[in-house]
Structures are given as C-alpha cells and as structure tokens.
C-alpha cells in the first residue's frame, strides 16, 4: 500500500497513477510492495529531519527510511518540494520529471541499488531513466 502525506500545500496530481507505476516497478524487480509512505514537505521540514536523524546539517531533496524485510519493500520517503523545484530548474527538466525521478529514487534504494561511487551513481541514473520511461508509456 502506498500513502501520500502532505506537510506543505503541494498535492500530487494523480496519486493513483503514481501508485500503479511504483507498484509495477517493485513487482518488475521481483519484489512485493509492503507499505510505502511519501511525505511531501518543504526545505525546513526536511532539513530538521536531516539534522535530527542523520546528523547532516544540509538541505536535500529526499530522505528515505528503509523498512524493507526480505523482498517486501517498505519505507518512509520524505521529499522537499522546494528542493525538487529548484533542481528541476537547475537540470532544465520539468518539475514533474524531477519529482518522479526523486520518488522512484527512494524505491530503487530499497530494491538494493546504491549511489555512493561514480559507477553506482551511473547505474542509479540509468535505472531512474528506465523507470521514468515506464511511467510515460
């Protein structure tokens, strides 16, 4: 089950479409969907979580807490809508494209894809792009 929560005035356009897409990605990767919670917030909300739980005094677009057990994908994914908006402008992509990339990024981590090394970052980006194509088809 996927739930969308809002700690800001932003509301996702089509929750049902996003849920179906994410569940399809999880299933295609050989896993099952447990409970995913998306929490959309602003920079300050996410910064506070970053400092309190991760001891990182920086702004970020996403923080995810992974509760996956075996092949059952579960977790809380916090997304700063402000940061996504800024990154969309920075990378010259639409807000929706960047938002969906960030949304699936957290799930891909739960599926075991890392992004610490340059090689892993490249693999993550390729997988994000592959997932975005599935959303648009």
Q: What angle do CA 129, 131, 134 make, to 5 degrees?
A: 115
Buried b or exposed e, range 32-71, using 16+ CB within 10 angstroms? ebbebbbbbbebebbbebbeeeeeeeeebbbbbeeebeee
Specify whether the CB–CB gap between 4 and 17 falls below 8 A. Answer: no
132 Cβ neighbours under 8 A, 6+ residues apart: 97, 100, 101, 104
Is 43 labelled a binding residue? no
Is 100 labelled a binding residue? no
Instruction: State which H helix or E strand residue 107 sits in.
Output: helix 95-110
Residue listed under structure tokens 């990605």: 25
Is 115 labelled a binding residue? yes
Residue 121: CB atoms within 10 Å: 12
Residues belonging to the binding site for Zn(2+) are 105, 109, 115
Residues belonging to the binding site are 105, 109, 115
């Amino acid at each position: 089950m996927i739930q969308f929560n809002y700690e800001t005035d932003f509301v996702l356009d089509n929750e049902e479409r996003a849920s179906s897409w994410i569940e399809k990605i999880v299933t295609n990767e050989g896993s099952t969907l447990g409970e995913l919670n998306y929490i959309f917030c602003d920079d300050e909300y996410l910064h506070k979580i970053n400092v309190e739980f991760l001891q990182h005094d920086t702004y970020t677009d996403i923080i995810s807490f992974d509760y996956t057990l075996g092949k059952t994908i579960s977790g809380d994914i916090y997304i700063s809508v402000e940061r996504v908006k800024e990154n969309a402008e920075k990378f010259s992509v639409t807000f929706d494209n960047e938002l969906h990339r960030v949304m699936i990024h957290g799930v891909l981590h739960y599926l075991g894809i890392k992004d610490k090394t340059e090689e892993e970052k490249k693999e993550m980006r390729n997988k994000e792009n592959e997932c975005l194509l599935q959303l648009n088809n």
